[in-house]
Chains A and B, each alone.
Chain A
Amino acid sequence: MAILNNNPQLNKHGELQHLLTIEGLKKAHIDHILDTASSFVGISDREVKKVPLMRGKSVFNLFFENSTRTRTTFEIASKRLSADVINLNIQASSTTKGESLLDTIDNLAAMHADMFVVRHSQSGAPYMIAQHLNRTRSDVHVVNAGDGRHAHPTQGLLDMYTIRHYKKDFTNLRVAIVGDILHSRVARSDIHALTTLGVPEVRAIGPHTLLPGGLEQMGVRTFTNMDEGLKDVDVIIMLRLQNERMSGALLPSAQEYFKSYGLTPERLALAKPDAIVMHPGPMNRGVEIDSAVADGAQAVILPQVTFGIAVRMAVMSILAGTHA
């Protein structure tokens, strides 16, 4: 009986106002972002690694949860677009003084922020911020840089950019996502992106304790046997296993996990010969991935990082309306 709320990430013309999730985006939205990103890839190779597209704009990196890596890539992407970047490590400042999340947002918006890049440990937190801004300051944009277990859309998009770069066509691929799907926002964003782009077979591989219910409804085939799951796949996306989950009620030990789900050269051989291996980083060598694979010819883990800058530049410039 829901009153259907408008999707808060789209404006009334169906254009991206914020980037909160890949779910619900049209293929055309994703294609546009990936095409724009490819026009930015070359910039990083130039002597002057800057374009003036966001000159005079202020991008606030609001990280309510620690992440040096993602914050750095957003910072670099902003700077290459000539935007001013302000990094705020929020758990260390206002919220510990009792200021509410929305008060923090109002304050920063009053400093004439043009864009917030938000990382938060709670699923849906960037929605609350975007919905609040839609009511109060509709000229400010939000990019979700990872919220709880929910979404990490720029990671999903850079993964798609990487797959497109190496595989060209999505419509004949088998893609396997391996590991802790239950807690992974990367997995969720990848799944939505892959199914939207027409990948016919998306697989999730992991023990029952790390596979959430309802994956089938998202168009995913689940496997608990790694060897079966990897058979004839074109793309393998390995997920990071968080330290705190390596031993406890979900898994007995990192060693046993590696034995059952670690990506070794022998297992990689079960995939197609030209399969690529991806990882959102940071990697746990010897836990989810063998060094021989991580450093091997089929790994595209470092190109992912490079493409990630271009994809984030594309997202920010499209939201800011400076890249039609």
Chain B
Amino acid sequence: MNIQIKNGRVIDPANGVDAVQDLFIADGRIVAGGAGFKADQVIDANGLVVAPGLVDLSARLREPGYEYKATLESELQAAMQGGVTSLVCPPDTDPVLDEPGLVEMLKHRARIVDAANVHPLGALTVGLKGQALTEMAELTEAGCIGFAQAEEPVLDTTVLLRAMQYAKTFGYTVWLRPQDPHIGRGGVAHSGPLASRLGLSGVPVMSETIALHTIFELMRASGARVHLCRISSAAGLELIRAAKKEGLPVTADVGVHYLHMTDADIGFFDSNARLTPPLRSARDRDAIRAALVDGTVDAVCSDHTPVDDDEKLLPFGEASPGATGLELLLALTLKWVQEQQGATATLSQAIAKVTIEAARIAGLPAGTLGVGAAADVVLFDPDARWTVESRALASQGKHTPFLGYELAGQVQATIVRGRVAYSRTGQR
């Protein structure tokens, strides 16, 4: 199947391309085209942006174990509607992804669905309990691209050090969300005036910064490469900036919600704004935006977490944290660029944060439209406006603090491995 995408604005940050030109696909790969190219299908992308398919560093598919919240089919369809062609899923499923057989099963199920490429993170410790190391080499062979603790902090710092030393032995990346195991445990909102006023238990910024100090010391001791997930605070970003300057092999991502929202969006106890880590102050939000521009933050992810009604329609403190995100990642990233004052970041730079930069962190040959690359492509209309509402979302997770917002940027088609897997006007 040969596809020619005509007249689109091709934005390919990995190759420094931002121009109106044609893109050619043959046998599932990007090709140079030329006189001999015979297209089976021609797509007119006039007025659209043609970019690498998005690479999402955190999307919970809820399989295995939580199929009542979401299934692989529903969530991978959501990925297609969101233009996400590769996604990394954390190991906090039930059972936890700590055995090769479970990883193989997940990869197998994903292949059958035949939509986005699924790249699991293996559990760093057995059962995420922070006690015994998992068989990292076996898990890597089964398809894991790194090792993580998801939302479970390691209580015993010795175990964390050993895990990092072991990962370093084989060159694996350790993915950690910095959170102190004790401070802020049980908290549901950013420690600050709003939490005090609403009487919500707080998660102080130092929960993040204390953990970062620990992680950096362990990195110095072990030499392990660490990817830091879901940074939420200005103070945390300051520490990462210094660590990068020091030359530590560290990268960082933020959840896309945190580019826009603050704890004030909790409003009158809106449990849709109950996220982990908690939405923080406007100052933290602004620091996250600035850190994306200066490169302290390498990538933006959706932190997609489907939560069903039974677990969300509860008092704020009892509601499960998390929001749907796969279908909002692109539009919310574009929103960030549009709101930049003085145009410090370009559209191309923004796309890089959800494509090539994310692919580099995950060690994936994705996020590029270079000749020879797998033909994972998204076509989107940057100006088309849509309203975030339940029926507009393919994901089984319908809860998001952006419910009711009008956003610009709509995916028109998603191509995975050279196949049109989603077309807004065509199939549904």
Contact = CB atoms under 8 A, between A and B. Distances in A.
A214 B196 contact: yes
A127 B314 CA distance: 10
A215 B196 contact: yes
A151 B199 contact: yes
B268 A2 contact: no
A280 interface: no
13 contacts: A1-B262, A2-B264, A3-B405, A101-B315, A123-B200, A123-B316, A127-B268, A147-B315, A149-B200, A150-B200, A213-B202, A214-B194, A218-B196
Contacts of A2: 264-265, 267
Contacts of B314: 100-101, 128
A214 B192 contact: yes
Interface in B289-344: 310, 313-318
A128 B313 contact: yes
Contacts of B316: 122-124, 128
Nearest to B282: A1
A124 B267 CA distance: 11
Q: Which 7 A-B pairs have the closest CB atoms?
A: A124-B269, A149-B199, A214-B193, A150-B199, A122-B315, A214-B196, A125-B315
Q: Is the interface of B mostly helix, strand, loop or mixed?
A: loop
Contacts of A188: 197, 199
- Range of interface residues on chain A? 20 to 34
Nearest to A4: B267
B251 interface: no
A310 B404 CA distance: 42
Interface in A87-133: 100-102, 120, 122-125, 127-128, 131
Contact of A148 (B197, B199, B202, B260): B199
Contacts, number: 85
Contacts of B197: 23, 188, 214, 218
Contact of A124 (B191, B261, B315): B315
A8 interface: yes
A185 B199 contact: yes
A122 B317 contact: yes
A42 to B, nearest CB: 35
- Range of interface residues on chain B? 20 to 34
Interface in A40-85: none
Nearest to A122: B315
B205 to A, nearest CB: 11
Interface string A122-164: 1111011001000000000000000111110000000000000
Most buried by B among A8, A23, A128, A185: A128
B270 interface: yes
Contacts of B310: 100
Most buried by A among B260, B314, B404: B314
A185 B269 CA distance: 15
Interface in B230-266: 260-262, 264-265
A130 to B, nearest CB: 9
B192 A128 contact: no
Contacts of B269: 123-124, 127-128
B286 to A, nearest CB: 12
A102 B269 CA distance: 15
Nearest to A216: B193
Nearest to B188: A123
B312 to A, nearest CB: 11
A8 B270 CA distance: 12
A67 B383 CA distance: 56
A171 interface: no
A51 to B, nearest CB: 33
Contacts of A150: 198-200
Given A102-B313, A124-B316, A213 B192 contact: yes
Interface in B25-57: none
A306 interface: no
A214 B195 CA distance: 9
Interface string B203-224: 0000000000000000000000
A200 interface: no
A125 to B, nearest CB: 4
Nearest to A101: B314
Nearest to A100: B310
A124 B317 contact: yes
Contacts of A185: 199
A149 B262 CA distance: 21
Contacts of A4: 267
A188 B314 CA distance: 23
Nearest to B313: A102
B23 to A, nearest CB: 35
Given A3-B405, A124-B200, 8 more contacts: A1-B260, A1-B262, A1-B265, A5-B267, A123-B269, A148-B315, A213-B191, A214-B195
Contacts of A217: 193
A11 interface: no
A303 interface: no
B187 to A, nearest CB: 12
A320 B192 CA distance: 36
A212 interface: yes
A104 to B, nearest CB: 12
A247 interface: no
A54 B317 CA distance: 35
Contacts of A100: 310, 313-314
B196 A212 contact: yes
A7 interface: yes
B332 to A, nearest CB: 11
A216 B86 CA distance: 47
A188 B197 CA distance: 7
Contacts of B262: 1
A128 B261 contact: no
A156 to B, nearest CB: 13
Contacts of B201: 149
Interface string A1-30: 111110110000000000000010000000
A1 B268 contact: no
B198 A123 contact: yes
